[in-house]
Structure 1
């Protein structure tokens, strides 16, 4: 099954999002067929706020490490780290990934849809086999957050050549169902508390991303370990040092052979 075909499988596929090589290795070891990156996690791991455009090099470094793994890889490249469609297209063409997320916002606000339209078209000309997941940030920033407005943007991105549409922040089941019915491309949403993969499938969702949730849970878990020790409580179990080290040794051999 190709990365594109995962979006048309019998059930939605879950895309875990890694923030470093260690998390990517863990997701691959768990058997997930595709792994994405999370811009929040990548930026946070380096002490930077998200969506400021500063994570370009860290993202590229992580992606280049991940592409040696036996999984499909899709990159969260925010808005492409540039206003120049040709520069965005060149970046994507050089990443060697199976897919990218390309968002239609900058500095916490929606941009004119003509801007992402130009970027999507340029990317598809430069890298036609890359699955472009066009992200509509209306619900994320509570701006033009209606089914009609989101659908207009999604249709414009579809016409430009997008392969899927990502609508983070949408959680209402009725709204999700309306968007899935109105958008002629696979609909991607973030994990919705209270809704299972089966629930989301019944609403028409084709792809579910974890986003930064695993990173944030991991940070909470790290604090919980320290607090448990301090408070004389039982320490939670974890993957052994030996198993974790073996993943890194295997990864080192894999990268050395490339």
Structure 2
């Protein structure tokens, strides 16, 4: 397992009142190394980025091998690694536990498991099986009541209670942006609350004031990277010089060798 950076555990990063863990999501070795070079102590993977990179749908349970391959590539990095494993790529709790055991061996210390609005009992059984198999793994239990459901408060609480009781170390409610409902959840929960950052929702400092323990960026960095590439091509085609942060060729080569660069240069080259 990866050595603990900065003298603190991954779980400990979720228990700093007023200072939530800002968790950026990488999609390959270079992006993870670049984020580590900027001082982020923990980095997660993005299931959308994993799927999009190989031309497969996200959330369909078809990227298990690709997720494991990325975890193996990033697991030895100088940061805590949390893996987005969708719903565990199986309905069998023991199969999910075996997957997480393999991720742990690769160097991951956290795993994100989503219920996809399937039965709460089945998801709770997965969480319990994972914690029994790999007690040290930080299990972030995600419910999709606000992401793909109707945001029903009763259902959200019922699911989160079941996941806490099953042993989840934290819970994740992507799509929830209302400050009052976030505050109410923080007060009710016994474990740290993870919120997905939204440009239409509270800022990170505001989420900190609400008591949120972890703020994930999800696929946003990957989508922004794609957008930046499209903007650069459009600028060049229009006779303009691309603007924004552009790492040099040598800096990217350094990242690829696994030696974090001091930081990307602002240049068009």
What is the TM-score normalised by the length of structure 2? 0.89
RMSD: 1.3
- 5+ residue gaps in structure 2? 1-7, 260-269
Note the 1:1-258 alignment, pairs <5 A.
1-10=8-17, 11-96=19-104, 97-105=108-116, 110-143=117-150, 145-193=151-199, 194-236=201-243, 237-250=245-258
Gaps of 5+ in 1: 252-258
Cα distance in 2, alignment partners of residues 81 and 247 from structure 1:
31
1:192 Cα offset (Å) = 2.6
Deviating beyond 3 angstroms after TM superposition, the runs of 4 or more aligned structure 1 residues are none
Aligned to 2:3: none
Contact 1:151 1:183 in 2 (8 A): no
Q: Is the 8 A contact 2:33 2:258 kept in 1?
A: no
Between the aligned partners of 1:42 and 1:27, the Cα distance in structure 2 is 17
| Contact 1:12 1:207 survives alignment (8 Å) | yes
- SS across alignment from 1:239: coil
The answer on whether the counterparts of 1:28 and 1:71 sit within 8 Å (CA) in structure 2 is yes
Aligned pairs, number: 247
Q: Residue 205 of structure 1: SS of its match in structure 2?
A: coil
- 1:195 is displaced (CA, Å) by 2.0
Structure having greater relative contact order (Cα 8 Å, sep ≥ 6): 2
Task: Give me the whole-angstrom Cα distance separating, in 2, the residues matched to 1:18 and 1:247.
Answer: 13
